[in-house]
Amino acid sequence: IEARLPSGKTLDTFDFAAVPMVSRARIAALAEGDSWLAKGTNILCFGPPGVGKTHLSSALGHALIDAGYRVLFTRTTDLVQHLQTARQELKLASAIEKLDKYHLLVLDDLSYVQKSQAETSVLFELISARYERRSLFITANQPFGAWDSVFPDPAMTVAAIDRLVHHAIILEMNTDSYRRKSAQARAVTS
Ligand code: ADP
Ligand code: MG
């Protein structure tokens, strides 16, 4: 699976004023890695489209790479596809093990995964395997209430959420779309 950290989406270009609920100091502390990565703590980032979830996860990824950590950034749908292929080839366990080399795995847009499209129990396998060992940064448009559409059944949804939140930092970005705000600002100044 290819690592594709969006270029240019760094902490330098992230405007913290746009998301008052996410403090620059807190993100700067996370950007050092250390204890949260050592414990396999997860970051769960929720908010509607356009609020900067992808930008922030990518920015933290770039900062951690600069600090010497290994980070893989992927769309969740791509990773599910990758793991499903591995499972069809009876290589799921080793595919998940290979991802162990990454201290942090960014799974962008979890809510775009649909259980009807994919046998998403591979995602559950991944979450279980990394539990208390290796960190995940998950972004989603919807908080947990809507995750029943992602996992194959309610019991698996509960079990996945339980593992993810046991050691987790939750970033709620309930603000206006940055895209829309910048479009409005351009309209006003022109
Ligand atoms: P999301 O993943 O939440 O849908 P994105 O991270 O893709 O949102 O952000 C949408 C666009 O707005 C991107 O071009 C991103 O770089 C920019 N953007 C969003 N939030 C900020 C921010 N706080 N500071 C600077 N740019 C931002
Ligand atoms: Mg996004």
**The amino acid at 146:** A
Residue 180: the pLDDT is 84
Q: How many angstroms separate the CA atoms of 181 and 187, rounded? A: 10
**The amino acid at 150:** V
> How far is ligand 1, taken at its centre, from the CA of residue 14, in Å?
8
Residue 88: count of CB within 10 angstroms of its CB: 10
Residue 152: the pLDDT is 87
Residue 66: the pLDDT is 96
| Residue 190 pLDDT level (bands cut at 50, 70, 90) | low
Closest residue by Cα to atom 9, ligand 1, is 52
What whole-number percentage of the chain has pLDDT above 70? Answer: 96
Judge residue 120's burial from the number of C-beta atoms within 10 Å of its C-beta, 0-12 exposed, 13-18 middle, 19 or more buried: buried
Mean pLDDT of 167-184: 90
Q: Which residues place a Cβ less than 5 A from the ion ligand 2?
A: 53-54
Our answer on whether the CB atom of 9 is closer than 6 Å to any ligand 1 atom is yes
**Closest ligand 1 atom to Cα of 17:** 23
Our answer on whether the CB atom of 54 is closer than 6 Å to any ligand 1 atom is yes
Mean pLDDT of 75-89: 94
**Closest ligand 1 atom to Cα of 13:** 25
| Residue 184 pLDDT level (bands cut at 50, 70, 90) | confident
Residue 118: the pLDDT is 57
Our answer on whether the CB atom of 55 is closer than 6 Å to any ligand 1 atom is yes
**Closest ligand 1 atom to Cα of 16:** 23
**Does residue 189 register a pLDDT over 80?**
no
Tens-place pLDDT, residues 100-122: 999 999 999 999 998 765 577 99
Residue 97: the pLDDT is 98
Closest residue by Cα to atom 27, ligand 1, is 52
Residue 117: the pLDDT is 54
Our answer on whether the CB atom of 147 is closer than 6 Å to any ligand 1 atom is no
Tens-place pLDDT, residues 63-76: 999 999 999 999 99
- Please, what is the average pLDDT of the chain? 93
Our answer on whether the CB atom of 50 is closer than 6 Å to any ligand 1 atom is yes
Residue 2: the pLDDT is 64
| Structural domains of the chain in order of their starting residue, each with its CATH number | 11-189 (3.40.50.300)
What whole-number percentage of the chain has pLDDT above 90? Answer: 77
